[in-house]
Structure 1
């Protein structure tokens, strides 16, 4: 596929920068799938498009809110938030940024065609937008929404000049890839690489890099080899088995941070005809075993999470029993990771009517999460001890997520953190009963639905008092975990490696971008 070169003016700027201009070369392990900032709520996509597109609200390395395109925000009533926008901000083509761009962005988000993970989880709570003046906008909601600023950190803002029907292809070919961000796009090859140049008119702090080369090297060994050879200066998703060796290299430095992301398995709760499930000898089953909570519990407690953390993750993870890790708002200290118990798992299968186990397809990406392919292989081996034969399919993440969005797998590996610093986004996206019009369950691959959970979540989303909201989150979490809505595995640790002359500010949201890197002092 040929790279798309953008406007001649962009290339002219690059030429003026001169051959001596400093270029930062970044290689990432997670495959980004589009330059369309509203196509898929996928961390590699978000990290790439943040170079080009700004949000109303930003976040720092600890996921604390910071001003973005909005300088300030205020709750002017229980159901109205007002955002004061920066003045003097321009799009990469020189046109001014105004509140009308936000209106156009919100109108476009629900209409993105073939989106595997919609950004409506961030927009649906807004009932009406009110443009007060070119640099003031009010967001009206049907009920109190205490997390509106947090939600606004998740929505990239695009220019109104492209309208609401602009297609994903127009971002990928560069025509619509015009943002207000710190870098301007020069070229983009889907699934391969992007080249960007510094935007001298950016409203934020001056960036040290004249150009940024951002490319995918999915293979761990190849990514490390490129770093050691100096072909790239920064890599992410460092394999845990390589950390000690890299630490002993005088030319390399390591940066790490505990992640918000929870690695988990989703299971099809609803369908008896779910593909990839059969009896122990491949025979058709009248009822899917995954619909029985005893079976789901058996699958959970037959996974030795401590072994995965120590042997597969090299200690760079912590066992998980819920959405978010200890210390994050909404974490329930009463919920511990499931205790590894093979005899009980076998008894649960017998009680459920599957004394000889069954066969099931276990799918996952092989280039998205740290050691993802090894994780599903380890899970499959553990399930074999209780008579569950897992047929493992590991595939490139762009293929996996597209197929997962079509509900092609009975069980799949995935990961989710938080878009707000609270458990609302995994609850709304992963667990809530699917309702596209309300932005609920947009990534609910398990097809899980529990009215009691939904009711608690809705109460939490409109509760202003932080302590009361947290208790509602915890109650909802206990319901979902008792149902095994998902099977949490572990919270991973994010690891970067760089050449000695580059300093990386490690982030707990896992995102890799040039704005978190600078020349070492």
Structure 2
């Protein structure tokens, strides 16, 4: 008997041969006719019925609101077309690739779908992998540091092989267990680029005179700057750049509205053989971030995720009675919705010494009344917790969430006394050099609730003799100040991925990136392969880096799981970050006509790519009544 998978494949191939434009019972839209050759020979079949959803109709436009043109970077995240990606259960599966094989997490063989094309109609083949590897990563004018750190194991690059037009292989000398997860990430590791288009901007393939004219046209100084500008995918500002995403940007910035049109060569089909995405266009309309919630509540957005928060929920929910919108609550996946991040690399020697004293970090955490914050800011609906993994993660243990997260001012005072912060008769504490214990906590001020939380924390810390003053800086300025050691403490969210499995990299728990505000200089050292920043000089941080490297060498699931637990234990017991609450709720607004979008989901950057794993290419608009 034919199994369901084979039956669906047969139905899809039959439907494609007949060029169906819409599922049975749905009126076809003008765009539903297929272009011969627009699909790979073996497109990816999306079994909507198995996902509890229904096949849809082609056509329609969805409007979204963004806080500025830089937010067009969200579209490649939402679209979530990856060589290998996660499904809703966070299992890895081939997506753009037809299939892949791995051997001991060292050798990875990738098979491209024959007949797959970029959005401009050019073939997607192993030449696009070769161009990326040879002409981009191995060109010192484009990549001065050589092969990216993410492609190195023990600082050694892999062997890259082209086996045929549709098959490539990457082989390392030792296991690279997070390689596939990097390909499935919200901002994925790039392995292939549209060679046919980009060669015109490359010195190896273009004459110097033409390159000079192109540099003048696009207002850059060198051909390498030109290549980087024209090939940028994380922020798709070049409308001519071919993509494999479900929608392609058609608008050149600056603009107040960006039009993303459906990719006519997208590689997915539903069980009726209808090519995805269903939606013809996604419009991104720029607006002031402050009024996006009001506009979404007035029906000016058909799908709104960003620039709205739980504080807007009551207003947005009441708008369901006035406008054709539906508002749901998804669970945020960060390890902490908001976290205080002591900068262990700050320039102030006295504060740096105190921030590196675990007694001080624990005292500051114990003095925070998380119950009050949860009730006052999150209506009691979040979970009071240290910055750690959520119960939805198989790695969750209650002791991680509870680590130094109880409200215990008496113990906090004892720890600060022990650490040498003296008090006067009024209870004000002083640093060892005689200065008052005044902490300036820096924030980008992008979320209104941050100021509410800091106001409450200020009251809590005042009771242990520490004064808190918030300081607001623009995000890029704040980032430079943190890396430069000018900040002592900042506020941001906690772990990006609060729902990991043992097969996902534990790099967030160790100094591995200069974006980690608690140890940016140590993270830069790891990120640069030792070429910048400096190595950690705290035993616990050193152990975390060693464990991270051990995880990459581990050959079994059990070993990786054991390493994860050891790292979580160190990270939470050392209170490198002060988490407050997690599992906060996120309102998601959508048109009441939008179908196939789940009522509940996990909302976060990593690993779900916000709505990416829920496949927005399968969302469709029901016809107006």
The alignment partner of 1:212 has SS state of: strand
2:386 to 298, 304, 321: 321
- Between 1:471-480 and 1:313-322, the stretch displaced more is 313-322
Alignment correspondent of 1:371: 449
Shift of 1:486: 2.0
Shift of 1:292: 1.9
Shift of 1:137: 2.0
The alignment partner of 1:73 has SS state of: strand
Gaps of 5+ in 1: 1-15, 36-44, 275-284
Alignment correspondent of 1:227: 296
Partner Cα separation in structure 1 for residue 507 and residue 448 of structure 2:
22
Contact 1:235 1:498 in 2 (8 A): yes
Alignment correspondent of 2:492: 414
Q: For 1:106-131, what per-residue CA distance to the aligned partner results, in whole angstroms no more than 9, with x for missing partners?
A: 6757999999xxx9574344633322
The alignment partner of 2:124 has SS state of: coil
2:317 to 247, 250, 253: 247
2:462 to 358, 364, 384: 384
Contact 1:162 1:176 in 2 (8 A): no
The alignment partner of 1:371 has SS state of: helix
CA 486–466 in structure 1, closer or farther in 2 if over 3 Å, else same: same
Shift of 1:198: 1.0
- Correspondence 1:508 to 2:610: no
Alignment correspondent of 1:6: none
1:123 to 151, 164, 170: 151
Alignment correspondent of 1:12: none
- Correspondence 1:99 to 2:126: yes
- Correspondence 1:162 to 2:198: yes
- Correspondence 1:211 to 2:251: no
For the aligned residue pairs, the C-alpha RMSD in angstroms reads 4.0
Q: If the length of structure 1 is used for normalisation, what is the TM-score?
A: 0.78
Alignment correspondent of 1:519: 621
- Between 1:99-108 and 1:294-303, the stretch displaced more is 99-108
Partner Cα separation in structure 1 for residue 198 and residue 577 of structure 2:
39
Partner Cα separation in structure 1 for residue 85 and residue 148 of structure 2:
18
- Correspondence 1:202 to 2:266: yes
The alignment partner of 1:167 has SS state of: helix
Alignment correspondent of 1:472: 563
Partner Cα separation in structure 2 for residue 98 and residue 286 of structure 1:
54
Alignment correspondent of 1:458: 549
- Correspondence 1:136 to 2:164: no
Alignment correspondent of 1:348: 415
Gaps of 5+ in 2: 1-29, 32-57, 203-223, 270-275, 423-428, 431-436, 605-609
1:257 to 327, 330, 336: 330
Partner Cα separation in structure 2 for residue 402 and residue 113 of structure 1:
25
Shift of 1:53: 7.7
1:266 to 317, 341, 350: 341
Contact 1:52 1:179 in 2 (8 A): no
The alignment partner of 1:26 has SS state of: strand
Partner Cα separation in structure 2 for residue 266 and residue 328 of structure 1:
23
CA 85–457 in structure 1, closer or farther in 2 if over 3 Å, else same: same
Q: What is the count of residue pairs matched by the alignment?
A: 478
Q: For 1:379-400, what per-residue CA distance to the aligned partner results, in whole angstroms no more than 9, with x for missing partners?
A: 3343233222222123454554
1:179 to 230, 243, 250: 243
- Between 1:65-74 and 1:414-423, the stretch displaced more is 414-423
- Between 1:372-381 and 1:181-190, the stretch displaced more is 372-381
Contact 1:207 1:515 in 2 (8 A): yes
The alignment partner of 1:130 has SS state of: strand
Q: If the length of structure 2 is used for normalisation, what is the TM-score?
A: 0.66
What does 1:415-454 correspond to in 2, within 5 Å? 415=493, 416-418=495-497, 421=501, 422=504, 424-427=506-509, 428-429=512-513, 430=516, 434-438=525-529, 450-454=541-545
Partner Cα separation in structure 2 for residue 417 and residue 95 of structure 1:
36
Contact 1:72 1:83 in 2 (8 A): yes
Partner Cα separation in structure 2 for residue 485 and residue 441 of structure 1:
22
Partner Cα separation in structure 2 for residue 479 and residue 490 of structure 1:
19
CA 461–500 in structure 1, closer or farther in 2 if over 3 Å, else same: same
Alignment correspondent of 1:27: 65
Contact 1:52 1:177 in 2 (8 A): no
Partner Cα separation in structure 1 for residue 284 and residue 536 of structure 2:
30
Partner Cα separation in structure 1 for residue 138 and residue 88 of structure 2:
29
Alignment correspondent of 1:307: 372
Contact 1:268 1:447 in 2 (8 A): no
